[in-house]
Amino acid sequence: MGNSQSPPADPRLASATRCFAKRELDELRTLFVSLASQSQSSSKFISPSVFKSYFRIPGSLGDRMFDLVTQKRNDGMLTFEDLVIAKGTYEKGSRDEIEQFIYQLVDVTGDGVVGRSDLEVVLTSMLDAVFNVEDGEHSVSSHQGVVDIFLNAVTFSEEVEGHAEECMSFTDIRKWWSVVPSARKFLGSLLMQPDPGSSDQVPNLLISENISPEMLLMKKEYAWHIAGALSQPDVEEWKLLYHSSIHGLSFSTFLGNISNGGGPTVLLIKDTDGYIYGGYASQPWEKHSDFYGDMKSFIFHIYPQASIYKPSGANTNLQWCAVNFSSESIPNGIGFGGRINHFGLFLSASFDQGHTFSCTTFDSPCLSKTSRICPEVIECWGVVANGIHDEKNDNNVIKGTVLERFKEDRNMLNMVGIANSSK
């Protein structure tokens, strides 16, 4: 069935077939038969529209994927052999084979060059695919600001004769994927069978119904970007634990609110220069006189460019949380990376100042316009691991709205005499 479109002795087919177990090939055959039937092709091929609809690949990105899977024949007919060869390369090939395939995919015009306009189209299609099913209201214009922050993280080093715009090499795109892993994760999963009930790339952001989403720094697009560097259990749900506009710039209130979660957190800061950045803390924020944490922590840029900086392995100066120390050699506050008084990111215990320097811990640049920062808004989100919150801290974590939990936290702080004066 469908053999008319591929050479009978195609070595790529034989090689790709060996990548699959018999059960996987049977499942792939069943999928092909179903989609070919929807294509009204007498079970011979899958049409472009059915392919794009099933795999949920919108616009020009879907057209380009269909072109690559059908081996650029331009006949509008995707055969079973095409599907086996494409999935064998795209999903089961070596890292180089997979990423070369994706590099061709990003060349949406198919002219052999990946330009800035290609990447802009890909990013728009990507955001449509990730968010449209849920929101149904995105457009190119509404994506533009978000597309720009991802484009700002790209190095376009190629100068191609006959192309006026900036172009990127294969090395450039690999560097981009290293700081925008959500893009690599998305582009590497397009031919996987979709799960209708799954939103496994975007955390569910939990806030009180009394809090307007407009006041939050964290947007769904930002959460998707940050989540690209996390394992699946840490991408399920994020719960707002602290917001400086609700509680004031208070270190004690911050520590009180996040103590209930006891797990990983995402810290987000907007400073008075308009820059947005932060860090993922894999360990709870607890009093220490030295650096602590593990290699799962990282820091990130959001605005004006979106980039993630994972541990380089140069040292283990990952998290810092000093509370009520009197020595100048142990600065009170929270931070990530670098060294004492020269952190990759640091907020003083006053919560009204801090700094960010380039650091070897994350091989990261200064995250703001200048090294000294003045926070305007600080947010902290607790990562809710799937299934764990039902068994632990159920009364504190799950029951009640976020604001109700804020009030409970404040009551506890009042009991010990450390609630702030912004009540």
Q: What is the tens place of the pLDDT at every residue in 251-310?
A: 999 999 998 767 999 999 999 999 999 999 999 999 999 999 999 999 999 999 999 999
> Computed from CA positions of residues 247, 206, 122, 362, in that sequence, does the dihedral angle turn out positive or negative?
positive
Lowest pLDDT segment from 223-237, 358-372, 376-390: 376-390
Please give the pLDDT value at position 58: 87
CATH number for 174 = 1.10.238.10
Instruction: Say if 200 falls within a structural domain.
Output: no
CB atoms near residue 161 (< 10 Å): 4
CA dist 130 and 69 (Å) reads 22
Return the amino acid letter for 249: L
pLDDT at 1 over 70: no
Instruction: Say if 339 falls within a structural domain.
Output: yes
Structure-model confidence comparison of residues 388 and 343, the more confident one:
343
Q: Which residues contact 293 (CB under 8 A, 6 or more apart)?
A: 281, 282, 283, 316, 318, 319
Whether 143 and 268 share a structural domain: no
Please give the pLDDT value at position 268: 98
Average pLDDT over residues 25-40: 97
Six-digit token string for 264: 């990983």
CA dist 154 and 136 (Å) reads 28
Instruction: Say if 94 falls within a structural domain.
Output: yes
Lowest pLDDT segment from 68-82, 121-135, 244-258: 121-135
Contact 206, 220 (CB under 8 A): no
Percent of the chain with pLDDT over 70: 85
Lowest pLDDT segment from 218-232, 316-330, 374-388: 374-388
Whether 255 and 127 share a structural domain: no
Whether 108 and 232 share a structural domain: no
pLDDT at 411 over 50: no
Q: pLDDT tens for residues 83-120?
A: 999 999 999 999 999 999 999 999 999 999 999 999 99
Tell me the whole-structure pTM to 2 decimals: 0.85
pLDDT at 8 over 70: no
Instruction: Say if 271 falls within a structural domain.
Output: yes
Instruction: Say if 195 falls within a structural domain.
Output: no
Please give the tally of structural domains in the chain: 2
Whether 82 and 125 share a structural domain: yes
Whether 292 and 158 share a structural domain: no
Three-state DSSP string of 279-318: EEECCCCCCCCCCECCCCCEEEEEECCCEEECCCCCCCCC
Average pLDDT over residues 383-396: 53
Lowest pLDDT segment from 38-42, 160-164, 416-420: 416-420
Whether 213 and 344 share a structural domain: yes
Tell me which H or E stretch contains 380: strand 375-384
Please give the pLDDT value at position 193: 81
Please give the pLDDT value at position 418: 38
- Final residue before a domain boundary, out of 159, 187, 215: 187
Q: pLDDT tens for residues 129-154?
A: 888 644 344 445 567 789 999 999 99
Please give the pLDDT value at position 420: 41
Whether 149 and 220 share a structural domain: no
Whether 7 and 148 share a structural domain: yes
Contact 39, 45 (CB under 8 A): yes
Instruction: Say if 38 falls within a structural domain.
Output: yes
Instruction: Say if 232 falls within a structural domain.
Output: yes
385 band by pLDDT with thresholds 50, 70 and 90: confident
Please give the pLDDT value at position 27: 96
Whether 83 and 110 share a structural domain: yes
Query: Range of 316's domain?
Result: 205-416
Q: Is 256 exposed, middle or buried (0-12, 13-18, 19+ CB in 10 A)?
A: buried
Please give the pLDDT value at position 320: 98
Chain mean position to CA 213? 19
Structure-model confidence comparison of residues 206 and 209, the more confident one:
206
CA dist 383 and 67 (Å) reads 40
Six-digit token string for 235: 């991408």
Please give the pLDDT value at position 267: 98
pLDDT at 423 over 50: no
Whether 177 and 222 share a structural domain: no
Please give the pLDDT value at position 131: 85
Whether 238 and 333 share a structural domain: yes
CA diameter of the chain: 80
Nearest to 396 by CA among 387, 405, 388: 405
Whether 172 and 217 share a structural domain: no
- Final residue before a domain boundary, out of 187, 216, 247: 187
pLDDT at 383 over 90: yes
Please give the pLDDT value at position 331: 97
Average pLDDT of the chain to the nearest whole number = 87
Instruction: Say if 323 falls within a structural domain.
Output: yes
pLDDT at 7 over 90: no
CA dist 94 and 253 (Å) reads 49
Please give the pLDDT value at position 403: 36
